[in-house]
């Protein structure tokens, strides 16, 4: 049997592609390596599925996507924005609610989104699904694609949509196999690196900071050049830095590390106050409470664990001043600190610089940064410029978004565009 379209991968973009192609009238085969479709969807939005973001409009210029071709994501969004995603999901019976610009299913259940997609696929009689069927290889002759699965079966189709995902969350099906399929058909792959992940740091003092959460701003530095920055709740771990602001900038650190560059992060641990305000606060408190240690002075504005590390670094002693070790060493009062010591402390609070040694791996990252070179695909259809009838969607492309529903929006947009484009040739065929 020869299918009109084969969709390799039954994740978010693959399911959207299959539905869109079948609605155009094409006969569709979906090959999915896992035992059920859309398993990765269940893990999105902390189980609530942040399925899109209302910041993505057709007129949007500076979109929160990173790509080697900076204008490519905007061309996709001009064809399929967040409003189109909501129309698509309403057609599946999913109504939505908002938290700010973030859009969720009204049930706040990721399972509702996955189940709705699967129900629609089951109801469309021109879609056939084979789970437990990982695609091993693909070949193209003049008229057809030959798709071989790992169990030795071969399927033929007139068109092929590769929607295998990136390398993040391999336990949920994204093992990077799609990169090899694209490469075998002549496409350039920009080496994927983990993105939306925590960063590992060299400094040993992080062992004593595990569990600390604080508002901060984060800059990623390559030498003196700022590669990216963000702000929000910083989470400190026993190995480094995490939290949403770190996730947002992590792909720049990952890429620079992959290229062998030295990467650092500069942390403003008190963005609510400038240096003069901190200096004034310390001075006033010292005058009022002459027997307070610096740790005690800073208790009102910084986490105690942070204060202990920062005061040690400022004095260069590697030990706490007073407080927890008061019985083992003399108390050093804040009023006894010299001007240079206070200056160093304030500089550390406003710009603690740490060395980034690595990122968390793909299994602990939300997306991959890198993939199939977008310059080799038509943005209006996502058809390959090199291989007629070949389409690529979702995270497999060299496009990654920040947190906030942007990556799922990318999956719906590319899946629907590719499915509609591939399927339209089969409308009303006999």
pLDDT tens digits for 311-341?
999 988 644 454 444 445 567 888 889 999 9
- 3-state SS string over 173-226? CCCCHHHHHHHHCCCCEEEEEEECCCEEECCHHHHHCCCCEEEEEEEEEECCEE
**What pLDDT, on a 0 to 100 scale, did the predictor assign at position 316?**
83
Write down the pLDDT at residue 29: 98
- Whether 356 shows a pLDDT value over 70: the answer reads yes
Closest CA to 385 of 398, 374, 401: 374
Contact 25, 428 (CB under 8 A): yes
pLDDT recorded at residue 169:
79
The CA-to-CA distance between both ends of the chain, in Å, stands at 15
Mean pLDDT, rounded, of the chain? 93
Tell me what pLDDT residue 61 has: 61
> What pLDDT, on a 0 to 100 scale, did the predictor assign at position 59?
56
pTM: 0.91
pLDDT at 57: 81
Burial of residue 69, with CB atoms counted within 10 A of its CB: 0-12 exposed, 13-18 middle, 19 or more buried: middle
Give the DSSP H/E element, type plus range, for residue 241.
Answer: strand 240-242
- The per-residue pLDDT for 427 is 65
Identify the pLDDT of residue 425: 84
pLDDT of 414 reads: 98
How confident is the model over 253-278, as pLDDT tens digits?
A: 999 999 999 999 999 999 999 999 99
Q: What pLDDT does residue 323 have?
A: 46
Residues 28 and 324: their CA atoms lie apart, in Å, by 67
CB 215 within 8 A of CB 243: no
Band (173; pLDDT cuts 50, 70, 90)? low
Tens of pLDDT, residue by residue over 362-405, are 999 999 999 999 999 999 999 999 999 999 999 999 999 999 99
What is the reported pLDDT for 329?
Answer: 56
**Coil, helix or strand for 325?**
helix
Q: Which of 52, 102, 59 is nearest to 77 (CA)?
A: 59
- The b/e string for 110-135 (b: 16+ C-beta within 10 A; e otherwise) is bebbbbbbbebbeeeebbbbeeebbb
How distant, in Å, are the alpha carbons of 85, 107, 255 from that of 412?
7, 19, 26
pLDDT of residue 46: 86
Percent of the chain with pLDDT over 90: 84
pLDDT in tens, 2-22: 999 999 999 999 999 999 999
For 184-225, how does the pLDDT look when each residue is reduced to its tens digit (9 = 90+)? Answer: 999 999 999 999 999 999 999 999 999 999 999 999 999 889
Average pLDDT over residues 135-139: 97
For residue 60, pLDDT beyond 80: no
Please report which confidence band the pLDDT of residue 62 belongs to, taking 50, 70 and 90 as the band edges. low
Most confident of 16-20, 45-49, 173-177: 16-20
Mean pLDDT of all residues in 72-85: 95
Q: Where are the beta strands (DSSP E) in 43-169?
A: 52-53, 65-67, 96-99, 102-105, 127-131, 135-140, 145-149, 154-162
Q: Each residue of 82-132: pLDDT tens digit?
A: 999 999 999 999 999 999 999 999 999 999 999 999 999 999 999 999 999
């Amino acid at each position: 049997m020869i299918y009109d379209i084969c969709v390799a991968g039954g994740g978010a973009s693959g399911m959207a592609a299959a539905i869109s192609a079948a609605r155009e009238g094409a006969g569709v085969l979906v090959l999915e390596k896992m035992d059920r479709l859309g398993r990765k969807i269940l893990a999105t939005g902390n189980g609530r599925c942040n399925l899109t973001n209302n910041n993505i409009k057709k007129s949007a210029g500076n979109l929160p996507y990173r790509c080697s071709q900076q204008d490519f994501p905007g061309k996709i969004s001009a064809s399929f924005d967040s409003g189109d995603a909501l129309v698509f999901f309403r057609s599946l019976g999913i109504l939505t609610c908002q938290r700010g610009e973030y859009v969720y299913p009204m049930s706040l259940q990721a399972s509702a989104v996955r189940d709705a997609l699967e129900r629609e696929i089951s109801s469309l009689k021109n879609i056939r699904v084979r789970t437990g069927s990982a695609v091993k290889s693909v070949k193209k002759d003049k008229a057809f694609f030959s798709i071989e699965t790992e169990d030795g079966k071969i399927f033929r189709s007139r068109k092929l949509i590769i929607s295998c995902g990136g390398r993040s969350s391999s336990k949920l099906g994204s093992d990077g196999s799609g990169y090899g399929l694209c490469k075998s058909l002549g496409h350039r792959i920009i080496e994927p690196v983990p993105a939306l992940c925590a960063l590992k740091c060299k400094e040993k003092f992080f062992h004593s900071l595990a569990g600390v959460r604080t508002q901060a701003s984060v800059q990623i530095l390559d030498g003196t050049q700022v590669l990216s920055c963000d702000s929000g709740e910083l989470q400190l771990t026993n190995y480094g830095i995490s939290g949403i602001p770190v996730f947002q900038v992590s792909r720049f650190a990952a890429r620079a590390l992959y290229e062998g560059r030295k990467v650092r992060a500069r942390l403003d641990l008190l963005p609510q106050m400038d240096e003069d305000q901190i200096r004034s606060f310390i001075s006033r408190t010292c005058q009022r409470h002459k027997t307070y240690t610096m740790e005690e002075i800073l208790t009102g504005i910084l986490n105690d664990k942070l204060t202990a590390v920062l005061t040690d670094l400022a004095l260069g002693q590697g030990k706490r001043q007073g407080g927890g070790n008061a019985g083992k060493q003399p108390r050093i009062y804040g009023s006894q600190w010299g001007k240079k010591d206070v200056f160093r402390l304030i500089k550390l609070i406003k710009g603690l610089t740490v060395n980034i040694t690595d990122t968390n791996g793909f299994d602990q990252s939300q997306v991959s940064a890198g993939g199939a070179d977008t310059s080799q695909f038509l943005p209006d259809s996502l058809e390959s410029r090199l291989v007629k009838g070949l389409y690529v969607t979702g995270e497999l492309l060299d496009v990654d978004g920040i947190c906030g529903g942007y990556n799922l929006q990318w999956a719906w947009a590319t899946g629907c565009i590719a499915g509609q484009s591939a399927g339209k040739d089969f409308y009303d065929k006999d």
